[in-house]
Chain A
């Protein structure tokens, strides 16, 4: 029964993540448009865009190699696997034992590598520039993410996301300053990883300011659909990750029944919606920063994460 529940929740979770991805992007766009006084396209617009793109045959550059044809599938597959590992509305899903934060980071790094290779494949100036910048941002984002993970490892004794969520929820840890710092650090990393304002502008049409989009300039048709969907899924994954770690309330405990799942689903939807709103408000209120300011932004995140860990060292030392 427990196994069946675990498998069922896992399948439901994957389906939810896959369905929520375009919706989250559409919702954020719509919210931003409303806040800037425009009507905005329907939140369902990304579904229509994806369906249209997916039916089109791609046009590859003359000297593009097999990399351009394989990379979008590989990147999306890695992101799907990572998304299936992140806890959602329920705990103790089938993949929970494998849901390691370092593994999720590794899978996302794989997707990033595929994206950057795709950017360099046609041998165009913007693709290479975008690839170099994307990898450079990761150099600052990765330490911030792992040092934030250190805080969880101290509190939960593990980097398993399912365990972290369970401990942070049931461990009666209360509000901790260190967790607040870690949350800010993770938020900054999420912004950088998802190419959002202030690190990158997802809506830009000017090649010189692009990072993420610059690597996709040569992608078209179904390849572009895969890339767009990958980006949306990655955003959803990060929102779910932040929700699972810092807002673990309401998630159905491991081995619970359908009623608890329903509560968990409602709570998860509310959390994801709230995070989308927060992201839209943040993006509406802030301007994009220069590329070479990004290390300062992410460096601050790293320092906050280190401060969170240091605070925990002190507090666990006295406990």
Chain B
């Protein structure tokens, strides 16, 4: 099986080469259809391995760096994330088949890089795949480089990708070995372990978009074409979380103390809150979705932190619950966020814009897309019986069990995290309502939006795959968790049992359980009964008339779309939360400029917000960059003798380092 997976990676590389051949439309068909097939193959193999037994051992590749061959392996954790990669890769490739087919070289490389990072069995291979993923996705972000905003996004993205790399390379270097099995046998201790925690959290966190390193994400994810955005938000952030989990929970092993969970919990809670809040304020559909990705990445990180805390306190079932929440939410979010990005792409194709203030009423023109969107926003808003509710139910149950940690400090931390997680979930619901309501409900807000048509076959197929999976995971979370069980064991120990009760999920022996099938059955029963009862009493069909709108008079006939100012706008929908929370958290502001009486200029209301990280982080970073550049510039002024002695000194220094390393 490992050979088949390695072959799949090689084929993806071959597809990238095929894409280089200028063959027009057919090349796009071959590359994208091949990517879809290979993704489906990855998903099938990963699901098969999770269900029927994982392949033993390590596949050592016949090539690699000077100090050892590269190696691949598939364990529970990597198989779970590979399953996500396969499913999202399939739907995004299908969707891309319906479009113009651009970025064809980067597309299979992006998929292959993620696959390589997931399958790696040593640090070098993992970092190679990780960097390939970063570089390929950068190419996709920079695809529309004619727009200045996209160029800026791509540049910032590259900076943060470099930051992630510069932190992850030493983090893996400090582990003492490259081979994962060797690291597990001798996990790092003392200051080295703490350094791995800090570097790993910064490195993987920068790639996953954890606050305060999230700055690039709302810029870069929307800049890429929609299928690429779906892959980036759905899978790439999860690969970063996989690296985080692999590094901190698996490789550093159970010897580490429980407080390791606290920084993860804190960073996760901050991301969840800030991301969900920003998702409510953004006026571009894809930017809002990217912000919601920050929120969900935060939720998964919180669950991972909780798993560390519970594992450190020897609370096995609770640790399994938290780890199950992390894995299930990673899968659920990967699917529903990919779905929503694909919907945003379909909307952009059909209505010509992704600005919420130019959309509206699309449910009439695009009923199927609207249905898929409804599934996506329902899962993102954590509504039963969809997948988001199942995973967030597990997370909330794990947080509600935080008091078992015993130590009062940790208990208070867990209670605060519970409050923030609950707030983030409610904020996400508000954001999703705003997104769907503005784009799909109401009246069109622009002539282009009024002429929208339903998405094409490929696009619909691409959206149908994640929508159906979102429903299925929501209805059978127990089965999904049973598949995730090997992954849970990797995270919290070989004795862990997934929090499963038959087809349902449960928070442990004697605790609450959640059975979505029962809920769906009850809902269906009540719905049918209601429908029959009400129909009997009032069988007539509904009549149509002009909207009542609180008695607002009809607009003049030349206003084809009605009075444009009488519909809620994106900024208007954001107003309550901007005033309630945005002022303190996002430096939100509202200013009314009222001209003096007698002046005929209109009054203006200006509202906006600024991410504090955007203000606080890059300015010192830019100053540091300038200082370093100044110092380096001085090298250019060196005389020939100076340059020669610098080179000589470097050589001697390196030799001395080598001698010292040999002597140890």
Interface residues of A (CB under 8 A from B): 54-67, 69, 73-74, 76-78, 80-81, 84, 95, 97-98, 100-103, 106-107, 109-110, 112-113, 116-117, 120-129, 131-133, 135-136, 138-143, 145-147, 149-150, 153-154, 157-160, 207, 217-218, 221-223, 225-226, 291-292, 294-295, 302, 306, 309-310, 312-314, 316-317
Contacts and interface: CB of A to CB of B under 8 A. Distances in A.
B640 interface: no
A65, A66, A141: residue with the most chain B Cβ atoms closer than 10 Å: A65
B577 interface: yes
B415 A310 contact: yes
Given A61-B548, A63-B364, A139 B577 contact: yes
B575 interface: yes
A139 B443 contact: no
B515 interface: yes
Contacts of A149: 400
Interface stretch (B64-72, B475-483, B565-573, B619-627): B565-573
Contacts, number: 274
A123 B418 contact: no
B367 to A, nearest CB: 8
Interface string B559-593: 00010001110001111110111000000000000
Interface residues of B, number: 83
A56 B545 contact: no
Contacts of A217: 548-550
A77 B526 contact: yes
Closest 5 CB pairs of A and B: A128-B568, A123-B442, A120-B437, A135-B430, A61-B547
Nearest to A118: B441
A54 B537 contact: yes
A226 B430 contact: no
A16 to B, nearest CB: 16
Given A67-B363, A136-B577, A120 B442 contact: yes
Contact of B443 (A63, A73, A112, A126): A63
Contacts of B522: 81, 84, 95
Contacts of B187: none
Given A62-B544, A116-B437, A120-B441, A76 B513 contact: no
B510, B513, B548: residue with the most chain A Cβ atoms closer than 10 Å: B548
A67 to B, nearest CB: 6
Given A109-B383, A132-B576, A60 B550 contact: no
B173 to A, nearest CB: 41
A139 B419 contact: no
B425 A142 contact: yes
A132 B575 contact: yes
Contacts of B423: 139-140, 142-143
B527 interface: yes
Interface stretch (B16-24, B247-255, B389-397): B389-397
Given A123-B361, A128-B572, A310-B415, A139 B426 contact: yes
B221 interface: no
Given A98-B519, A124-B549, A313-B408, A150 B538 contact: no
A147 B422 contact: yes
Contact of A57 (B382, B513, B541, B573): B541
Given A128-B572, A128-B573, A309 B542 contact: no
A74 B418 CA distance: 29
Contacts of A146: 396, 400, 418-419, 422
B635 interface: no
B378 interface: yes
Contacts of B348: none
Given A57-B541, A109-B382, A135-B434, 6 more contacts: A57-B538, A98-B514, A102-B396, A107-B384, A143-B422, A222-B537
B549 A122 contact: yes
A223 B361 CA distance: 21
Interface of B: 360-361, 363-364, 378, 381-384, 389, 393, 396-397, 400-401, 403, 406, 408, 411-412, 415-416, 418-420, 422-423, 425-427, 429-430, 433-434, 436-438, 441-443, 507, 510-515, 518-519, 522-523, 526-527, 530-531, 534, 537-538, 540-550, 552, 562, 566-568, 572-577, 579-581
A57 B364 contact: no
Contacts of B567: 123-125, 128
Contacts of B544: 59-62, 64
14 contacts: A58-B542, A61-B544, A109-B429, A113-B381, A121-B441, A128-B572, A140-B426, A141-B426, A146-B418, A217-B550, A222-B538, A309-B415, A313-B408, A313-B411
Contacts of A117: 433, 436-437, 441
B549 A142 contact: no
A141 B427 CA distance: 11
B547 A120 contact: no
Contacts of B547: 61-64, 122-124, 218
A147 B418 contact: yes
A41 B21 CA distance: 81
Contact of B441 (A67, A97, A129, A136): A67
Nearest to A76: B530
